[in-house]
Chains A and B, each alone.
Chain A
Amino acid sequence: MSRDNILHKVRTALGRSAGQAVADVPPVRLRVPEAAMEDRIALMRSRVEALAGKAVRVPTMDAACEFVAAAIAGKTAVASNAPYLEECGIARLPGVRTGIREVGELTAVCAQVDIGITSADYALSDTGTLVMIAGPAESRLVSLLPPAHIAVVPRERILTGLDELFTILPNPAAQTSSMVLITGPSRTADIEQILVRGVHGPGQVTVVIVG
């Protein structure tokens, strides 16, 4: 269609020829500050709470499992295929559907249950963000369709911020077709600038920091 025509117009306007080399990209300095683990955890918790999310810290994987069990008591839940949830015993809790590998089934279950449980590949403490990389372990819909989202994150996955994320993961596309940063509950202010949570995504986000 218009491909060659548009590229030709661009080159003519810029005075470039096809395949002409480009100068180096301006440098972007990524700063990874020194931050003790305890400080990262404290900042992560305060940022999540500031967004009206919930942040709890538990000492062990067993304690994480207990916390999640209490949170889903009487409700239905779906858990992602993250090995960490399996290791915590969360995947085996009663009322939790897990191990789904077929998209139709996953969509139907996620659209029905009360809670979606995931781990997270990383967390960013200076913004209170969860980093979800789609793959065999994590899907897109578990953290999206149910009205509540619980993420169970071992503390060593807490990074300082975006700069550290892109330092250790300069090329996310090589790993996944979908990397999503989640910063707090779904929200809108489209009617009279009044904040309403839980528009399309989960209105409740709970981050469980383990360790």
Chain B
Amino acid sequence: MITTGSKFFYGVAALLALAAVVYGYASGGGGVGPISVGYKGGVGEHLGYGILLAGAVSALFAGFCATAFRDADPEPTAALLGTETVPDATPTGSSFWPVVAAFGVVLTVVGVVLNNVFFVAGLIALGAVAIEWTMQAWAERATGDPAVNREIRNRIMFPIEVPLAGALAIAIVVIGYSRVFLAVSKLGAVWIALAIAATIFIIGTILSLRPRIRTDLVAGVLAAAAVVTIGLGIFGAVAGERDFEHHGEDHAESTVEGASSEESN
């Protein structure tokens, strides 16, 4: 029996194949070219003929698949599985990798046109997504217990994620604040460093005095600190570095001058 889905796909294939032949002859095809896919004679305008024929072949393939798999109807599928009904697809849990993947795609797109750094960053993001998404999808099906699944995933991924996240955090702090220190005056850099140290000390003290600390609060404070650090870093990078005095050369020159004066004495 030809299934409903197969009928649709075979219909599409027949229509597009017929249209390809008609189009081939209407746009200058000769002999049996449009019928023999150009084996004997021309097919007319190649682009339109090719697209119509490719559409017909694709639809024909989909029709074969629909016939072979019985439109993926639940009854034949259940019979194949040896069950009475097909198990329901279960709703999936929360995951941030889709949004990171989209961010990576757009970063790659922007980077390929405007800036190689963005392009590489986008590729790295997509690579990380590929690994993490695959790992999450596997771990979620490892056992029937979500808590155990999460534990399994964390045991495998934390040894990789934690050092990388730490390295990333250090890089953000070093690069971000070094841009700020290089942009302001020497004394200003000292005051900013003191202010940062004091802020960390005060926030750390406040948090430690609380009997219980919510994870959300700590995450929020760290996220805010990251945003401030990156923002200040961008601001410092845009402002550029201050003018530096080259003490090493001055010192060398003064030493030479001193020696010559001693010689003259």
Chains A and B come from one and the same complex: no
A-to-B contact residues, CB < 8 Å: none
B residues touching A (Cβ–Cβ < 8 Å)? none
